Amino acid sequence: MVNIAVLGYGTVGSGVVEVINTNGARINQRIGDELNVKYVLDLRDFPGDPIQDKVVHEFDTIVKDPDVQIVVEVMGGIEPAYTFVKRSLQAGKSVATSNKALVAKHGAELLSIARDHNINFLFEASVGGGIPIIRPLNSSMTADEIEEITGILNGTTNYMMSKMFYEGADYNAVLKEAQDNGFAERNPEADVEGYDACRKIAILSSLISGQQVDFEDIYTEGITKITSEDMMYAKEMGMTIKLLASSRRDGDHLHAIVAPHLLGRDHPLFNVNGVFNAIFVHGNVLGDAMFYGSGAGKLPTASAVVSDVVDEAKHLHRNIMTMWKSEKTELLPIEDTKKRYFVRIGGEADVMKAYLESKFGPIEVVEVEGLEGEFGFTTGVLSEGEYKRIAKEFPTIKGMIRIQE
């Protein structure tokens, strides 16, 4: 029998118990042993719930019980999750977590403790919910240099962007609707400002570079400035706007960014709509690949957590996860990133085009019927530093959106 303890009986924690109950026979067959939930740690009691007898309020009960081989951390947040996970690993118990904040901040250290104890620290559910991405990067794409990972990693903002694109809805109306439907929090900052996506791309960046990428170092811009007019321009160009979290290799360094981007119809991420997530990966020999699925939700997230538990149960005394080192990967300054830009500007295109081209180089003008006194244009490839330097000379610029190639 393999005994596990679940830390936190919220949405994901109860999902983990539900998945194990639903698919237990099949899971046991895959492990070759019986998986048993021995404890559930929560401050609350759950009278009447089938797990009521397993509820404990003291973490010590779990960490001191030598029968517990795997700890599932689904509490979220840094503390007490960090302390509990660290103590579990130090006690020789493998840990599976869905906690992106914890992995982004302390992943290198926790992976290293797991390796020293010949156990595992796995976190498939921390990025992309139910989508298998951490394990494929760790054990499938091992013949490649991963040159780019670009993801739609936040379901809330993707739901909002999709609504704005397909229904022409306004940002505030869409946010309110998302809140009413339970897709967005009352305080939506973590989603709409890009903080959630930023932690996830920090984890993926650390994995592909083999060194720590601090989320604080990643340039992060949310979707709060995207308007229905921006979507009209996007449609006119046959493109859409998505909040992308992206990491590109440039020699030994990485360019990493979280920001809204314009995407063309041919990009595999173009059609990822609603609350779905997807992760595009480019390998130097594999070429393009994409992984798509439910980026959040009780059961999809629990499915990923339990797949980690299965892997840990099959490898109780064998470390299987690639480490990343605690030394930091140097991120290149955002000013050095080269892209094309879409710019909205007040004025008349035929009057201003020649002067704009004298500064930006060749541009393509985009005009939308019904939008008076302004127009849009796309630039050629420029570094972001160059763009900003030139843009300063044009006080009527209303906004800029980067173009993803």
List interacting residues with its own copies (CB under 8 A).
18-19, 22-23, 26-27, 30, 124, 130-132, 135-136, 139-145, 268, 270-271, 283-294, 297, 299-300, 302-307, 309-311, 322
The dihedrals phi and psi of 154, each to the nearest 5 degrees, come to -130, 115
Residue 400 Cβ vs its own copies, minimum distance, rounded to whole Å? 28
Burial of 350 (0-12, 13-18, 19+ CB in 10 A): exposed
Residues paired with 258 in a beta bridge: 220, 245
Any bridge partners for residue 259, and if so which? 244
Residue in this structure with the two tokens 């020789």, named with its chain if needed:
92
398 is catalytic: no
Contact, 123 vs 71, CB < 8 A?
no
Residue (154 or 378) nearer to its own copies, CB: 154
My answer on whether omega of the bond before 80 falls inside 30° of 0, hence cis, is: yes
Q: How near is the Cβ of 313 to its own copies at its closest, in Å?
A: 10
Nearest residue (CB) to its own copies, 10 versus 361: 10
What does the chain come to in residues? Answer: 405
CB of 7 to its own copies, least distance (A): 18
- Give the active site residue among 54, 163, 200, 242: 200
Backbone angles phi, psi at 247, to 5 degrees: -140, 120
DSSP string, 53-89: GGEES-HHHHHT-TTEEEEEE---SSTTHHHHHHHHH
Token digits for 237? 């160009």
- In the complex, the smallest distance separating the C-beta of residue 314 from its own copies, rounded to whole angstroms, is 9
For residue 131, give the nearest of 152, 113, 147, 106 by alpha carbon.
152
Least CB distance to its own copies at residue 220 (A): 27
- What tokens appear for 265 in the block? 């119809």
Nearest alpha-carbon partner for 324 in 138, 171, 164, 187? 138
Q: Which is nearer to its own copies, 9 or 280 (CB)?
A: 280
Nearer to its own copies, 298 or 353 (CB): 298
**Residue of 135, 19, 126 whose CA lies nearest to 75:** 126
- Give the residue with the Cβ less far from its own copies, 190 or 309: 309
Q: Which is nearer to its own copies, 142 or 396 (CB)?
A: 142
Residues designated catalytic: 200
